[in-house]
Structure 1
């Protein structure tokens, strides 16, 4: 049932596709931080000890496991701008799914398990980012922080993967 071919698909999914989907999600947050002239930007890919940095991107030892982004300031600091920052990751994941599906549909990319896995992980990110809940680490999801923004409960403007630093 689970053969060598399946093992290679698993390795590809978790060590290549998942980190790419994570980066797209995090870049979606940062895109809106940049759009609203944010400062103190950092994208962290993975967890564990820092391996290297390239500009504002920091790659950690377990690059395939989670990630986060940080910013310290938004020049345009409104409910709409803050909401778009926290919804940006999901918007970019959805946009990437639509682009891949269009390219597959046009025949530019061939239909394959890799694109299926890409869409699957992207939907996974969107679902858990938008579902209004608190994660085990105590941080709210992006959806819950947007809800808090609109309810004027913004004493803590950090979600599970997007952190507003006060320093």
Structure 2
């Protein structure tokens, strides 16, 4: 794992080589960037030297969900940002990703999401969990109607967990100026 943003290794995983190459091209001046054209190639490459994985969810050989599960099963200490055209649904609640962005993703949003994950890695696990939980809540609130969310026990549990984590981290969050604003400024769904 690298200590600075410039030394960070980002692995872009997409079965469409052109898509992976475009993201890698956008990021190469800021991070060490590698590509894997599919889930199987990603699993062959993944180790603790990869700081952030940009992971497509829908791939024909080994899907992003399976790659994500394998990353966590292997206990690889990388941050995972799902970048996908798959609209989020309630299934994301139990998925162990760190962030979820819907394609197409603008370069500024991509860089902000990666930098956020690199910063979170330097702090304690509560901040990482807070970012994960609030990302899921933002996605669900953007995708579902308030009526659909109202009374959903899993969503209520996520909201309670976010509140608890935020209360526990007041001191840690003071290190991040306006973290909530910065977090909300990332466009997670195309407009």
| TM-score, normalised with respect to structure 1 | 0.27
